Amino acid sequence: MLEHDDIALIARAFQRLGWDKPASQYEHYLMEQVLEIRDVYVALIEERFMGYLTICWISSYEPFRKAKIPEIVDFNVLPEFRRQGIGTQLMAKAESEIVKVSSIAGIGVGMTPDYGAAHRLYVLRGYIPNGRGLNYRGHFIKYGDEITVDDNIALYLTKELK
């Protein structure tokens, strides 16, 4: 679980990559963890940060919220640690916690090539599209809609947990 001492370590790691993930984001996550709104699982070995994911117990994605499906949100493994099983271990931990309250886990994934590794991991772990199509900034995309392709376009997936 996220601890206060992890925050600076995580923020520095993303700053080195040029990613916009400031310490304030993780301070907010820690507050939500204390309030039991979100859980944050951090992968560390000997104080070396490798990645994390969070579980939002009440999803901001309306179909998941209505169905009471917890959502895995903001899942990141640093590029140098990918394809070493860290993401798989984080996902397994999240699913083991979610199954205590729900038989279904949800996750959203971006649609740009930057999310390619995530696409592969989610399919290999048994996640399937929820059948609602693409979502952009909280709205379902309809045929003929024009959108900007960025990190706000997502496909939502679910997995039946055993």
* DSSP assignments along 43-77, one per residue: EEETTEEEEEEEEESS-SSHHHHHHT--EEEEEEE
Q: What is the pLDDT of residue 157?
A: 98
**Residue 3 confidence (pLDDT) above 90:** yes
Contact between 71 and 107 (Cβ < 8 Å)? yes
Taking each helix axis from N to C end, the angle separating 23-34 and 6-17, rounded to the nearest 10 degrees, works out to 140
Q: Write out pLDDT tens, residues 6-57.
A: 999 999 999 999 999 999 999 999 999 999 999 999 999 888 999 999 999 9
**Residue 66 confidence (pLDDT) above 90:** yes
pLDDT above 90 coverage of the chain, percent: 93
Q: What is the pLDDT of residue 16?
A: 94
Enter the pTM of the model: 0.93
Structure tokens at 127: 């996640």
Q: What is the pLDDT of residue 31?
A: 98
Q: What is the pLDDT of residue 45?
A: 87
Pick the CATH number of 6-160 from 3.40.50.150, 3.40.630.30, 3.40.50.2300, 3.40.190.10: 3.40.630.30
Q: What is the pLDDT of residue 87?
A: 92
Give the distance between the most distant pair of CA atoms in the chain: 51
Whole-angstrom Cα distance, residue 14 to residue 42? 14
Q: What is the pLDDT of residue 35?
A: 97
Element (DSSP H or E) covering residue 132:
strand 128-136
Q: Write out pLDDT tens, residues 76-97.
A: 999 999 889 999 999 999 999 9
Q: Is 37 left (phi over 0), alpha (psi -120 to 50) or beta?
A: alpha
Contact between 65 and 58 (Cβ < 8 Å)? yes
Q: What is the pLDDT of residue 36?
A: 96
Nearest partner of 121 among 86, 153, 161, 160, judged by Cα = 86
**Residue 121 confidence (pLDDT) above 90:** yes
Q: What is the pLDDT of residue 160?
A: 97
The b-or-e profile of 29-42 (16+ CB within 10 A means b, else e) is bbebbeeeebbbbb
Rg (CA), the chain: 16
